[in-house]
Amino acid sequence: MKNLIAELLVKLAEKEEESKELVAQVEALEIVVTALLRHMATPEQQALIDSIEGALEEAQPGAPVPHKDTELLHQYVKKLLKHPRS
């Protein structure tokens, strides 16, 4: 029983480490996208935003994806493009 608990704790620690790595990757991408948008002229910035939003609307997931997940993705993309980090 102790071995089972120890194995579960090790797996939990590994999952937590993977989660931290994913959070760091997402934050790094946010910083890069924000920096790129800030260095673009307003018309170019708007053209890029429109292009991304259009591509997102046209994209169809291969497997059935819950509407909630799709909406969450749309919200995050919109937030990132319209209201980048300060």
- pLDDT tens-place string over residues 25-58: 999 998 998 888 889 999 999 999 899 988 888 8
3-state DSSP call for residue 63? coil
Distance CA 54, CA 85 (A): 22
- The kind and range of the H/E element at 8 are helix 2-38
Cα dihedral: 18, 22, 24, 30 (round 10): 180
CB 83 within 8 A of CB 32: no
- What DSSP string runs through 56-73? HHH---SS---HHHHHHH
Which domain covers residue 57, as residue numbers?
2-82
Predicted local distance difference test score (pLDDT) of residue 51: 93
- For the chain, how many structural domains are there in total? 1
